[in-house]
A and B are shown apart, each in its own frame.
Chain A
Amino acid sequence: MSYLELQDLHRNFGTVKALNGINISLGEGEFLSMLGPSGCGKTTALRLVAGFDRPDEGRIVVNGKDVTGVAPNKRDMGMVFQAYSLFPNMNARQNVEFGLKIRGKHKGDGRGRVDDLLELVGLSHAVDRYPHQLSGGMQQRVALARALAIEPRVLLLDEPLSALDAKVRVQLREEIRRIQLELGITTLYVTHDQEEALAISDHVAVMYGGVIEQMGTPAEMYTAPATAFVAEFIGTMNRLDSKVLNGETGEVEHAGLHLRVDAARGRRNGERVLVLIRPESLELEAATNGTQPNSFAGEVLTQTFLGPVTRLKVSGSGTSLIADMSTARAAALPVGSSVVAKIPSEGAKLISLPDDGPGLPVLDPDDQ
């Protein structure tokens, strides 16, 4: 039974279609992230749910009730903004207390609740401090406590960590998830950081150009991207623009290379497809004299040290691939060495491409 539903939402700004038919369904206590580059419509959708904007078409339903026409101050939702949302003339405690004060519940039990929440977000020691005396991370904790104080039905977060330092971001996202699980509150989260979305969500909806490209669990999004955009946006992926040679055996051809891919079975011959292989599923070995099935030979072009993992770029046979392996093993394959990359026939995924289409969408590097 879904608790929060976005039904066929449309929103246009002039000629721009910011939202073009968004459908999302959240169960109670679920955490869903709307993930995508800037301009994809995720914040627009969130603001529609919060009530700061009205959809041109579609409905928003909470626990069976249509709230599309309800004013934002009556929707009983808690929102955490990206930055600057704490009232500067009030200290942390007074900020958290605000929603209760409006409802006349800040005396007695209310006071205890405020203290509990501040403790929950780890700020008991700073309750009397004013926003300008708090760091960015602390401010967002106060903002979270403030949104939770009113016991909202739905928690909305609009890129709450984007303005913070990297380390604080990782720390705080874990805490947000922990608190959310503890309180069991239905949560809608907006972010452009795919690592963040994958790390803490029950479900992820990848958005682009006002539509949802794919929605599913983080694992699904990662291992089985449904569209070229999702494949590109989530994690790093090797993409081989290929043609199906034999739909029965699963043989495909890419830049002269013949590969066997299980996922190609059942496709029609001549179909243009995109073969997707995660860098960590490529097996790299030093080249030997014989040839190996389902592999391609090349030379290590670059090595990029990423900590526990090293990323190797291998180039050969008119194509280049990225392979991730443990740093220890990568030491044995220095730049310039000849290697053989084995492509796992089960590990590769396939997406259809239009036969004469433009190919892969070009993503603005600034979007990620």
Chain B
Amino acid sequence: MTDFLNSGFRKTDLNSDANMEQNVETTVLGADEIIINMGPQHPSTHGVLRVKLKLDGEKVVDSECIIGYLHRGVEKIAEHRTYQQFAPYVDRMDYVAAVSNGLGYCEAIEKLLGVEAPPRARVIRTILTELQRIASHLVWLGTHALDIGALTPIFYCFREREEILKIFEKYCGARLTTHAFRIGGLQYEAYDELEKDTERFCNDFEHKVDEYETLLTSNRIWLGRTKGIGVISGEQAIAIGATGPVIRASGIQWDIRKAAPYAAYDQYKFDIPTGKNGDTYDRYMVRMEEMRQSTRICLQAIQNIPTGPIMARVGKVLKPPPGEVYHAIEAPKGELGYYVVSDGTTQPYRVRIRPPSFVNLQAFDTMVKGHLVADVVAIIGTLDIVLGEVDR
């Protein structure tokens, strides 16, 4: 019988106060250095992220990210579910961009099976994924601006995002964790007004992005807070494994949608925005431009959605032949990879999810060294991490 009063708080290791003391004793701190702890509950860490910062006055000398507070054992669960049963779980990893997760997973299993989704399904998947990309970037923009002190953009961004979520709700019934796609294609046919809704949204949205840009892009204070902050060069980014807008802002023009097109991306014209300096401002500009490009893709896609079936010929019971596959897509946050090993049974033998936020977060230490404490929050925001994905 546990002693209620004495249990829990004092002995908890999660806080690792003891560890912190140990750290203070064993690490040699300079005369002015202190270690402060940020999180796991903190309004700006965008989830349960714990960051230990070693400060010299205001300057960050060293940092350590401690993750795992949202670890749910998703990969272990995958081994005990059938392929279709596991699909809703992937939505919950990057819960801000559930549709992308679903796309990556369904395409990975389709590769494993050797089937291809029909053209109509591919195009509808593309439309929904691009809408989801816009929604994810809107969340990023709102929260990033809020952390830096701009109190208004978040409301505008969420207002726009509301429209996208309405489209998702009309399509599959869910706003956030959509489980929109199925292995082999789509479950639901596109509803009647999907094209009209998307077109209306996309046409509206261009002006809205301009609105956000007027608030932030040439704002002197915004420039001061984001230019030169969190710089990571192209080589460093490749070395540390950063993907997505992080690597594009550092000058490497790489997007899996162009390098290894999946879904229907090879049919559409779009640009890949890149930055030059690899700082926070460039990542901001890259993501803003990506939102515009996504709008462009959506508008092209809805012009010409092919008719036909929405589901490929896959059985109800999926037993992919033994083997393995690694399939990567360009999620809003970076390269989302699924490495699936099948042993011929109905349940996957191993599902490994390569989370973009996890690998991007490794770059945090490099990016934050030498900056001031107030920039830490900006850098976490600019990496656009979702702890659900980092911890799985």
B is a partner of A: no
